[in-house]
Amino acid sequence: MSYLPFTRPSIDDATIEGVAEVLRSGWLTSGPNMRAFEAALSEYFGRPVRSCASATAGLEIALKLAGVEAGEEVITTPMSWVATANSVLHMDAVPVFVDIDRATRNIDLDKVEAAITPRTKAIMPVDLAGLPVDRDRLYDIAKRNNLRVIEDAAQSMGANWKGRIVGSFGDLCSVSFHANKNITTGEGGALVLNNEDEAKAFELWRLQGVVRHPGGEQSCDISGFKANLTDIAARIGLGQLPRLKEFNARRTELAKRYFNLIPKDLGLELPIADFEQSNWHMFQPLLPLDRMKIDRKGFIEAMHAREIAVGVHYPAMHTFGVFKHLGHSAGDFPISQAVGQQTITLPLFPGMHDDDVDRVCEAVDAVLRPNLI
């Protein structure tokens, strides 16, 4: 029986040949393929889009564009990959964590307003596992408090809010093309911007801030990043973007199969069954640890013994050492902490077959049932 990873990209032969053509061309870094990819993304979102080396770089440059300065606060969630809050630290700003809603596992908008202070400059929500944060309430809060919104949509490429593509409206929006995302460039990301002036500013920030003038002269007035996307990566993206709808439709089918086949009496807490708006980036049940004889590590090891990968996305980050100076204790965000301790990520990617889901569900049952109290 072959090993089943929790994710794997689907890259077709035409894309592989396209990458080979880029390699043969000798133009490997940012060039015509990057510009073509940005044009395709801009058409998809209906707004200016510029690519970068990662979604994290997109967040960092977005913070610069939003004018976030040292000591100012950005409200975000502790339930995300650590890059979300790290990007705030990189600006010498302060990530202000707000607990999540247990059902959606996204930032609890009821608690956001209570966290706003005179130092708050922006809100940085995360669409966990591809389920969109309530954009209506989010932007109502931002507007009433004169705050910028920097959407960490790294996981929600192709998701929608009430029929509108995430990133096609609102403020700044960072998306990811990491190898485990719904479409990939291997490594990479992009920022969806509000206008061409922001797009031009982004171009400066992503490549050292250097301006080239006629006659070979150069100037540099800002300390920019080295965050440009290569043509190699962009060519992968050009092959992936036209398949996004296909990929997400297959993810939705697989998620529905999980809901139908996971035994209800095991006590797993399933995610919200949103088959209209979510892109089903990940499928994440919560283990009933209070009913189990084994811990999460034991469960994962038992699944691995059955040649099935299980991920953990994510531990609540507020107690990580990098945030120690913020003074948080383990009980500060109890819902995030509980979800972070119970969550498991089961295999979900477009190349899976129906019987792969069957196999995972049978393994979950075989591991959990004899270990329930």
202 in Cβ contact with 36 (< 8 Å): no
Q: Find, among 68, 42, 36, 5, the residue nearest to 191 by Cα.
A: 42
Q: Is the bond leading into 314 cis (omega within 30 degrees of zero)?
A: yes
308 in Cβ contact with 360 (< 8 Å): yes
* CA quadruple 330, 344, 253, 17: dihedral sign: positive
Q: Find, among 28, 51, 24, the residue nearest to 40 by Cα.
A: 51
Cα distance between residue 311 and residue 300, in whole Å: 8
Q: Find, among 166, 313, 150, 151, the residue nearest to 248 by Cα.
A: 166
Which one of the listed residues 64, 121, 143, 181 is annotated catalytic? Answer: 181
Q: 10 Å Cβ neighbour count for 137?
A: 12
In the chain, the amino acid numbered 73 is: E
Which H helix or E strand runs over 120? strand 120-124
Q: 10 Å Cβ neighbour count for 79?
A: 28
181 is catalytic: yes
279 in Cβ contact with 286 (< 8 Å): no
Question: Helix (H, G, I), strand (E, B), or coil: what is residue 286?
Answer: strand
199 in Cβ contact with 50 (< 8 Å): yes
Cα distance between residue 3 and residue 22, in whole Å: 32
Q: 10 Å Cβ neighbour count for 124?
A: 28
Question: Helix (H, G, I), strand (E, B), or coil: what is residue 16?
Answer: helix
27: left (phi over 0), alpha (psi -120 to 50) or beta: beta
The C-alpha angle with vertex 55 and arms to 25 and 351, in degrees rounded to 5, equals 75
The residues annotated as belonging to the active site are 181
